[in-house]
Each structure stands twice: as C-alpha cells, then as structure tokens.
Structure 1
C-alpha cells in the first residue's frame, strides 16, 4: 500500500457512484427453469426506474446471474439488491451476498435506475445462470450436465488444515515500506533496516503473523535473476521471523504497478519475468517450514486492458502460473499455503466471484483468498463530508466482510485481510477525528472475528516505532489489541464542547455499549458520583451542570478535563471536556503556492471545509462534492494559528472567480470565508 492507493480508491468511489456495479466472470449453478417479471413503475425524460423479480421454477440456486439485452440502448446508472452492469447492449445483474440463494418456487427481486434516449423498450428475453427464462419448469435435475455436479463438488471444500492455519495467523502485522520500497535499499522509504529486535517487539505486542511485502523488480538483472545479496537479505529477515515463531507471508509487492500492470500489452514478457521470480523463490524457500506462506501478487492491476473479462483472465493466469510453479518445486511447497488476491484486492462481489471461480478450478485445499480494506473512502480520507464513522461507513464495512465471508469462508476457503487501516489518519492529526477512528478499528476487529477473517494491520512505520518500539498512538494500539478478543463500549462523541461565551450547562452524549455494560465514569483514578456528577438513562449519559462547572475550572480555551467511561469489557472511552468559542478568521493575501488564513481557533477544532462558487456549484478538486479533502485541499495549524489552503486546491479553482468557503468545526460552529484567485495571486476575507 502506498499513496497510489488513495487515487485508486478515489477513482473506484466515483466509479461506483456513477455506475451500478461490475460484471461477474462466471455464474453459479444454472437453474432448470425461471420466470422474470420486468416493470417500469416510473419514467421521466432520459431516465426510468425498473423493478425486476425472478422466480425459480427449478432446483435450488446458490448464486445467480441474470442477463438480458437492451433493445433500445438503455444503460443502468444505479441499482439496489443486486450488482448490475451494462456493457454495450448487454446487461448483467448478480446477487447481493444476502440474496444469493433462490429456493424452488421462491422469488428474488431487485431494482435499478437507468437512462434511455429515443425509446425505452423493455427487454424481450432474460437468462438465469445461462438458462433462458421461459416461464416453464426446465428439465429434471437428472438431465443436467456433469458441469454442475463438478462445480458443486470443488466449490465447497471441507475446512481442514488451511482454515486452522489461517486462524492461527490471527492477528497479523505488515512490515510495510521496507523491503517493498522501490528504491535501491530497504531504507529508501525512510525506515531503518530490519533488526531481530524489531521482530521480537512485534511479537511481544501479541501479533502471531507477519506479512513481509517485497518488491523485486529493481533487484533483478536483465536475465531476471534476483541479486544474490538481496535474496539473501530477504532470507535473513524471513528466517528471523520464523525463529520468532511467526507465521510469515511473503509476496511480489509493488511490481504489480511497476511492470506487471503492462500484461495486457506485454503478456509474454510479464509472464516470463513473473515466473522467473517465483521459480527462484520456490527454490530458495522450498525447505522452509509450513509457517511460511506465499502470496502471489499484491493489489494486482492491469493498464490498458479491454475490461473486466480480460482483467479476470490475466489475474487467473498469474495465479495459476504461481500455483503450478510452487507446487512443482516440491519439498514443503507441495502443501504450503498459497494466498491468492482478487483484482485490486477488492471486496466487490464481481471481483470475489472471479477469484472464487479460479479457486474452484484449482481444486487445491491449501489455497487462501485475500483482500484489503481501508474503510469507506469518504470517511477514510475525510472528503465529501465523511467526518464520522456513521451508519453509511459501518455498512460499507459489514457489507464488504459479509460478501467475503459468504463467497469464501462459508464455503471452506480461508481468508486473510492482508492490509487494513484508514488512508488519511496518519497524514495529519485531525484528518480522521480520534474518537471516530477508534470506533472504526473497534468495529473492524469485532466484525472480522465474527466472520472468521484473519486481519493484518498495515504499518508503514506510522504505528509501531521501528527503533523506539513504542506506539505513536497508544490509545489506538490498545483499541486494536482489545478488538482481537472482545468488544469495547464507545459513545456518540469523545468531545463535549461548552461555549465560554455562555453559561455552563448539563451535557448529554449517547453511549454505544456494543454488548457491554456501562460501569462508571472517572477523572483519572477518581470515580465520579452517579446522580450528582452524572446520570444515565438508557443509553443517554448526562454530565450535570455542577459537574461541568467544577471540571471546566477557569474555562480556558481547549480541553479542561479528561474523563473516561468504563464498561464491563474492553478499553475505556475517553471524553474530552472542551471550552470554546466560534473561531475568528482574518483577511489574508498570498499566492496559489502559499496561502494561509490567520485563524484564532479559540479552543475549537476543524472538521471539514466546503467550497462553492457564487452560482452554488462546487469549487476545487473533487468537484462532485462541496466538501473538500482534509489535508489535501486544506489543513489547520493550531500551533501557528492558521488554516492553509493548498496548491492542489487552487489548481482546480477558476481564475477570477469568488469562492465561498464554509469551515465546519467539531463544536458545531460554522464560519464563512471568501477567497479569489487571480492568476497566481490569492486574496481572502471573512
């Protein structure tokens, strides 16, 4: 994972917002008979809503794909209860994770919005898993081909040693931005050389597995032979990790975008080089213990392909070649766990189905599926108003993990979440608000456990110090560790604001007990008194006015007191009592490369910023939303008292156009400010 992933996820989010889904390479078992009801309950100029129901008139269907041809060139723009895509005149709808099964004589329904031009003629024919829906029962199951039987047999392997070994890998940690650097040395991306002491300390934190990302391309000669010194260094680090008792995963990492991505135009060259790497690695590690795991390629991607079908085929070819090379090399490689990724390590259903099809075909009990998860993108980078880990962000996580579980784990294929985190939270303190960040990690750890998914934290040096062996955010580390075994209570906020310009009053927040029981409120080691200092009614925790007055002291701007809510399990929830007033912004001049707004924050904290032109349209980058990306377009500096607008922001602001900025603060306050760019000059005023 590098900064490149931010752009990739941004593109993916915009793509999903603009389209209904992605195609699946192969359907599940076909249905002998089916009936489709297609209706258009509403239609408007160039747009319409369609409602579709599919009745299964044959045997049980586990995983479905409905296909049809548009007679009038319609296109799907948005869908629900299914993943729907159009390619030319061809359209495909595939099941969501929760409605994959259609029992005999049962019905499944979905809907979508579409666009049309000229006429909006209904489709004339539908096919369910390749069988045309005639409204009549199909032939008896005894007349179906052996293809269905074979797919059922190989698609549901019985859980065995692979599942147990992957479970034993929980929890895992990534040695990021080190051996995967694209420079000449493992220190090229500012991390120190790996030491045995580092691995010992990672082990002491409770991690049971370690993923060692490795980039090979810059360490290969013209004949694709890996430099002996580099391979020996990798073997040394792997050896240390194995000696520490870790389960260890190694891979081909940033080569994925450096040269493997060129496979559509250079299939032979890429495959030859890829095979050369795995042939050498299979030989070098053939006799290593089974606790060493191979991952075929990190975040596979292809540039200039013809689309989903070619992407799926190319990735299948890489995974197949990888598996064949390793298995043929003998030794412990004959049964070593091999980890196979989805395209982009995505958890979209179409990508999962593509990998599931490959794994079924390999019929190998020692294969593992992998994906990555960096959260709901607007929340992960704080753009488009995604300031909170709200219901939308939570649903993105649960939907992703449900899809992975239903596609793989429930069918006996173990899964490793090879990387997880948030994309923006280590860029700038405040990009992702601390409490919202903690809620994300608490929920992720819990939900991964319920879905039997092994997790591997992405750490490029931003978490555990490589020489200090200290966590940069101990509160986060405690939350992550707790999530491995239990839930923790949280709350609607970790900040309680009181305006200094007004009288002190009682404050109420909502407790999220997450299955625990609230047990008390403390300031340090002092227990606050229930009834006089606070009250609890259902999930509402209220701090009384006398307690707020006492705890706020002289009411200096900023945090006046820190409380902790305690629960029957997990880690306590910190609550900051903050005194504030509405921030004050002053006039400023500068340039597009250097512009800062003098800001007296008065105890408040910046949550996000909107940017609009006078006509109400969105200004600046990501112009599909008025809310700009924290730290990429703007950033507060509480020490110097300034709010910076970045060159990246002004690069996409119209010349001589007045932009109205609305700054949103965590207290709920908003402040309006105006900036005008004239060439490279910028002026601003409240």
Structure 2
C-alpha cells in the first residue's frame, strides 16, 4: 500500500471511530487476524554449548499473553533462558512470556534468549508457531466469530505521551543517509534506503526509527523556500515504509542546525523566515500521517556569535515554540501529534535542562517529548587522557546525566528520548575503545535507561548494521545492547587473560561484576570462585595456552543467570619489540612486533616533563587521532595531527601502554617535516 493510501485508510478508520464515539453503531464482520515472523540467531557457539537469540514479531491482532513453540532438528537442549520461560520435552521446546512482556501488539516484537547444549550439529529450527499459528511472515484470519477491528494508529489523546514513548523503546537511527550534506541520500557513502533494509532493522527488535533529514540543499530561495518535491516525496516514501513495518518514526531538520540555523544571532529575520517556511511545508506534508510519526524541531541546536547562555536560550525557545505553533496550527493529526523538543546542543547539563523546562512549562502541552543525546564521558568515549576503562568516573557521568533528565522531565510525566547514543570514537571505527570495556558501557547504559524510563535510539551511520548485508559488524556488541533492553548481564574486570610466552605459568584471576545476576559457571575451563574472584589454576592455564603461540589460544564463556555470557580470551604474549625509524610528519610509523599484545594508549612528554602534542593538558594522547596501531602492518602510526603540535627540534618521549600491562618507551624528534624515532 502506498503511503498516501495508507494515510487515507487511517482517516477512514478514524472517522468510523468518531461515529462510534458519538453513539452510531458500525457493524464489523472481520475475523481476528493472526500471523507472525520469527528470527533465530546463534550469537555464539563453543564446544558443546551455544547462545541463541529469538525475536518474535506479531503480525496479527494484539495478544495478551504469548507462547512460542518449535522443534529442534538435532540433539539440542535449552539449559538457561532469559525474558521467557522455556521448557522442553524431547526435541519439542516451548517459550512463554514472563508477565511483563506478555502484551504483544500488532507489529510489535518481543525478544528472548537462551543458552543450550548440543552435539552432532547445531542447525536452527525449521519453523515456529505463535499461540498455535505457524509463523510464515504472512497474516491470515483465524477461525471463529466476529472480532473487533484491528487497532489502527490514530492521534493519541492527551496524557498518553509517556505510554507512546515507552512503546518506542528501543530505537535506531538511519544515520548518514537523508541527513547527508550533498546531492542525495548516497552522498556520504551509504546506498539508497530500501524496504528490505527497514524490514531487517525491524527484525532486530527495534520499535522506533529516527530518520534524520537535512533540507539545506533541497529547497528553493526566499521568500517561499519551496522544498524540492522529489526530495520530499522520497522522504515520504521511506517514512511510509517504516510506518508499514510498524515502527514509530521520527523525522527532523538535521544538519541545517550548523549550516544556517546557527547564524540566528546575527541573521535572525532570515533564519526565522526560512525555518518557518520549511516547517510550514513539512507540517502540511505529514499532517495526516499516523500518530506513530513524531516530529523533532531541530537536531543539536547551536548558535554562533551569540552573547552567551541567555541569548542562546532565547533563540532556541523561539525555534521550539515556532515549530510547535506551526505544527499544531496545521490541524489533522498534527493537532495532537507527539512533538520532540531538544535542549541546546541536546546537552544534559542542568542549565540546558532548566532552559527547556521553561519552554515546556510555557507551552503546557501534554504531547511533548524532551530529547538529549548521549555519547558517554568524553575521555572514555574517544580514548584520551587515559580514559581506557569503563571505570567509576565514566559510570557516574552516565548516572548523573540520566538522573538529571529523569528528575526534570520523566518524574513529572514528560517523556524523554535519547535521540542518539553511542561512543564518539565510533565516528572513526568501533575499535577505538577496547572491546570488553565497550561492552560494559553499553550493558550499563541499557540498564540505567530502563531504570530511569528513558527511551534510547542507537546512532548508526552504517558502521553497525550493514545496509545491504543486513549483518552486524560486531555481533557481540549488538548482543549486549539487545540484552540490555530487558535485563542485566554479568561482566568481569577484563575480557582478557594475558600469559607470558616463556617462564613459569601461574594462576590467573578476574573479578566478576555480577550486576544483580548470579554466576552459573564457566564453559571451557575448571575454576574456583571465592566471593566474586574467579581463578584459573596454573594447571588449567597451562592447558588453555597449549603450545603458547602468540595471540588468543582459548576462549571461555562465563555464564550468568540472565543476559549474555561474558567472553574471556586467554592470550599468549611477549613484550612488544619496537624499532628505530625515519619518516616525515605526514607519514611516520614505528615498526612494531606486537607479539600477541594490543595497544591501549600512548603518553607523550618533553624532556622537562611537560606534555607534548595535541591535548597538551594531558600526557595521554587521543587514540586513532594522534596515534593508531596497525596490527596487520606491524607498526604504530603517529598521525600528522600529533606532529602538528610538537615543538620544532624537541625530543619527545613516548610511552606505549599495552593491555598486558607492558609499557615500552620510545623517542621521536621532529626537525622541520622530518622525523627520527629511536629506542634510546
């Protein structure tokens, strides 16, 4: 069904609902509809064991209670489950809701997971049935008498904003597509959006999708600023696909924020006119869209050349209230549509929250949503200033920010969406932060967002979920994120155990972070547990490292009562060997034999102890900006950005910190554009 015809159908149903409300009987003869779609994925597998994730999408009428059944094709047994009660008789398995997730609306998805044992082969089930209906991906009427009409998305009455935003959890961003600054949605390297992509994103368990849109290059001149009809039609097409998939959808004015809206302090009249013209057209275009479409006034608002906080607050309030007035005045579904208003810079600082609170108070509209963005404690998020671990400081920063928005808004009945979340280091690649520390961050983020009743939308510019492969680039990361939506996972002080290649092998210990779970065991090794200290004996470690070849020799799985297992790599290493080198400020690298080890961070100091290079307030430089390991190339690259802020002729002492705990000292001297590196 086209977007236009879907909206028209919604209006017809809305009219029928209005007749019913007015006391006019409307006969219905439609039978109840049933249908479902199931995704089954083995997230990890080891000798004799595996972890599986199951997503169940109800395509039929809403369910109050669900049971999923299947038959294992091999010798597989469920040993532990979360977010469902799973029983098994022979090869036949049954999963039932656990109360809090019993309600399964039309096009809603519920996810659960389990650990299992296997032998022979571990082939997935061939079919599933939801409440007795085989899941084919299609919808068919069930037998029986007349049923109530299938619920249709209509504008929600005042007071249901919290409920709607709760239903939007979890969310995903279609980043670097329609927000790309260029000719079209492929300008930043992503392919054209397809229905298949959105279907696959929905199958991952996401209930809402934020579609950022940059309008700067897609409208005409003043005074009318007409939006390019082809661009608007394309956005409407993709919005329609998303709504058809059952998503809640959010669209906005995105990179316009820094392209022209930021000039508002010195060009107020023109910015206001342009902003007004765009939202007037957008409000008209989406006036009759289903209520599951939400509108966001502007992404990450910012101003250049303002006189300070007071003027910034005044200007953002003007934008937000102008947006609110235009959309509400356009009528139709927009009269009660959920509208999303950001803080300045979408920051969770208390002053920024207070400014937005004042706007909400003045507008006095129950169908408003507050939004901020969250990319973590900055030193950890980009790996600078020694921020290599998800430590108490990093965790407290998250707690403080989530508490502030909860106390200001959620506690008062105003829903909050974290419209983007992730780590800033992801802008380069997902390896900027060490894997285990990254997993601990996302585990806690999902948990604390649930605790504070905040809806989250993962920022994905194509680096997480493949736009054509429909596969996660880091399945372990997504497994942790998905698990965090509903439960907690146990973790540990590290996901790495380093063992020297030579010399006596000793016992190794890790501290478990139970996070409210109970420890269930360790697959792949004998162990002892003293309180929260997990210890592998010297004999066990000797067996795990085998011939002690460099790198990962064994992988273990720590299992907990809920959530996903915690992977532990047992690694053989020797201290890395660095060699002398020459090069230029544009192309310089330190030849490095890593010998099983991995680089954590780098310090840079002058002879007098002062800090060298960029971020000269800290000795620890930014990972992948000032330096980066190149493991396949056996080298550590020092970036031009590092040498750009190194004093001419000065000798800089570098200290490379490795995850084994090893440190190696190296020296570089810059002379013009020439660089010399030595060990002494």
Q: State TM-score, norm by structure 2.
A: 0.76
> Any conservation in 1 of the 2:429–2:463 contact (CA below 8 Å)?
no
Structure 2 match to 1:186 = 185
Query: Following the alignment from structure 1 to structure 2, what is the Cα–Cα distance between the partners of residues 613 and 246?
Result: 55
1:138 counterpart residue number: none
- Tell me what 2:459 maps to: 458
Aligned residue in 2 for 1:614: 607
Output the CA distance in 1 between the equivalents of 2:523 and 2:548. 20
The Cα of 1:581 is off from its aligned counterpart by 1.0
5+ unaligned residues in a row in structure 2: which ranges?
1-156
Measure, in 2, the Cα distance between the counterparts of 1:511 and 1:159: 46
Q: CA deviation at 1:502?
A: 2.2
User: Are positions 1:546 and 2:539 aligned together?
Assistant: yes
Match in the other structure for 2:39: none
The secondary structure found in structure 2 opposite 1:671 is: strand
2:158 touches 2:336 (CA, 8 Å); kept in 1? Answer: no
1:213 aligns with 2:206: no
Partner Cα separation in structure 2 for residue 664 and residue 545 of structure 1:
26
Q: Please state if 1:641 is matched with 2:634.
A: yes
Distance (Å, rounded) in 1 between the aligned partners of 2:426 and 2:598:
16
Q: Does the 8 Å contact 2:626/2:641 carry over to 1?
A: yes
For the residues of structure 1 that align with 2:236 and 2:631, how far apart are their CA atoms?
46
User: Counterpart in 2 of 1:167?
Assistant: 166
Deviation readout 1:339-395 (Å, 9 max, x if unpaired): 000000000000000000100000001000000000000000000000000000000
CA-to-aligned-CA distance 1:188-208 (integer Å, 9 cap, x gap): 000000000000001000000
Report the number of matched residues: 521
Corresponding residue for residue 619 of structure 2: 626
Q: In 1, distance between residues paired with 2:506 and 2:523?
A: 19
Q: Structure 1 residue 503: deviation in Å?
A: 1.1
Distance 1:185 1:329 in 2: 28
1:235 equivalent in structure 2 = 236
Q: Could you say which residue in structure 1 is the equivalent of 2:399?
A: 398
Deviations 1:244-290 (A, max 9, x none): 11000000000000000000000000010001110000000100010
Secondary structure in 2 matching 1:218: coil
Tell me the CA shift for residue 501 of structure 1: 2.6
Corresponding residue number in structure 2 for 1:281:
282
Answer whether contact 1:346 1:371 (CA < 8 A) is retained: yes
Question: What do you get for the CA RMSD once the two structures are aligned?
Answer: 1.0
Q: What is aligned with 1:252?
A: 253
Matches within 5 A, 1:432-511: 432-511=433-512
What is the distance in 2 between the residues matched to 1:639 and 1:211?
37
Q: Is the 8 A contact 1:159 1:412 kept in 2?
A: no
Residue 431 of structure 1, CA deviation: 1.4
Query: Is contact 2:174-2:212 (8 Å) kept?
Result: yes
Once residues 201 and 483 of structure 1 are traced to their aligned partners in structure 2, the CA distance between those partners, rounded to angstroms, is 20
Paired residues for 1:225-624 under 5 Å: 225-425=226-426, 427-428=428-429, 430-523=431-524, 528=525, 533-624=526-617
Classify the secondary structure of the residue corresponding to 1:238: helix
CA distance in 1, matches of 2:447, 2:532: 21
When residues 426 and 438 of structure 1 are mapped into structure 2, their CA distance, relative to the original with a 3 A threshold, is: farther
- Per-residue deviation, 1:678: 0.1
In the TM superposition, 1:82-231 aligns within 5 A as 160-223=159-222, 224-231=225-232
Change (3 A) 1:237 1:429: closer
Partner-residue secondary structure (3-state), 1:636: strand
Indicate if the aligned counterparts of 1:173 and 1:457 stay in contact, CA closer than 8 A.
Answer: yes
Tell me the distance in 2 between the aligned counterparts of 1:542 and 1:361: 59
Superposed CA deviations along residues 593-626 of structure 1, whole A, max 9, x for unmatched, are 0000000111110000000000000000000100
After the TM superposition, list the runs of 4 or more consecutive aligned residues in structure 1 that deviate by more than 4 angstroms: none
Alignment correspondent of 1:42: none
Measured in 2, the distance between the counterparts of 1:300 and 1:572 equals 40
CA distance in 1, matches of 2:427, 2:485: 22
- Runs of 5+ consecutive residues of structure 1 not aligned to the other structure: 1-157
Distance 2:560 2:426 in 1: 26
Indicate conservation of the 8 Å contact 1:581/1:602, yes or no: yes
Shift of 1:308: 0.2
Partner SS state of residue 181, structure 1: coil
**DSSP-derived class of the 1:219 partner:** coil
Instruction: Provide the rounded CA distance (Å) in 2 between the counterparts of 1:159 and 1:490.
Output: 42
Q: Are the equivalent residues in 1 in contact too, given 2:571–2:596 (CA < 8 A)?
A: yes
Structure 1 position 464, deviation (Å): 0.5
- Hey, what does 1:654 align to over in structure 2? 647
TM-superposed deviation, 1:460 = 0.3
Q: Tell me the SS of whatever aligns to 2:590.
A: strand
Paired with 1:324 and 1:639, the residues of 2 have a C-alpha distance of 57
8 Å Cα contact 1:401-1:451 kept in structure 2: yes
Q: CA deviation at 1:428?
A: 4.0
SS at match of 1:167: helix
Q: SS of the residue aligned with 1:268?
A: helix
Contact conserved, 1:398 with 1:447, CA < 8 A, in 2?
yes
After TM superposition, give the deviation of residue 430 of structure 1 in Å.
Answer: 3.5
Distance of 1:470 and 1:376 partners within structure 2:
28
Q: Distance in 2 between matches of 1:414 and 1:391?
A: 28
What is the rounded CA distance, in whole Å, between the counterparts of 1:412 and 1:352 in structure 2? 15
Confirm or deny: 8 A CA contact 1:612 1:626 kept in the other structure.
yes
Look up the SS of the partner of 1:177 in the other structure.
coil
Does the CA-based 8 Å contact 1:159-1:413 persist in structure 2?
A: no
2:241 match: secondary structure: helix
Residue-by-residue CA offset, 1:451-510 (whole Å, 9 max, x unaligned): 000000000001110000000000011001100000000000000001113211100000
* Residues 426 and 510 (structure 1), Cα distance of their counterparts in 2 relative to 1, 3 Å cut: farther
Tell me by how many angstroms 1:159 deviates.
Answer: 8.9
For 2:431 and 2:597, locate their aligned partners in 1 and report how far apart those are by CA, in whole Å: 12
> Take 2:677 and 2:648, find their aligned partners in 1: how far apart are those partners?
14
Matched residues in 2 for 1:501 and 1:261: separation?
A: 60
In 2, Cα distance between equivalents of 1:685 and 1:318: 57
Residues 668-683 of structure 1: matches in 2 within 5 Å? Answer: 668-683=661-676
Distance in 2 separating the partners of 1:312 and 1:258: 19
SS in 2 for 1:631: coil
Q: 1:225 to 1:485 in 2, by over 3 A?
A: same
> Structure 1 residues 499 and 589 mapped into 2: Cα distance closer, same or farther (>3 Å)?
same
SS of residue matched to 1:217: coil
Cα separation, 2, equivalents of 1:427 and 1:228: 34
Deviation at 1:426? Answer: 5.6
State the distance in 1 between where 2:647 and 2:522 align. Answer: 52
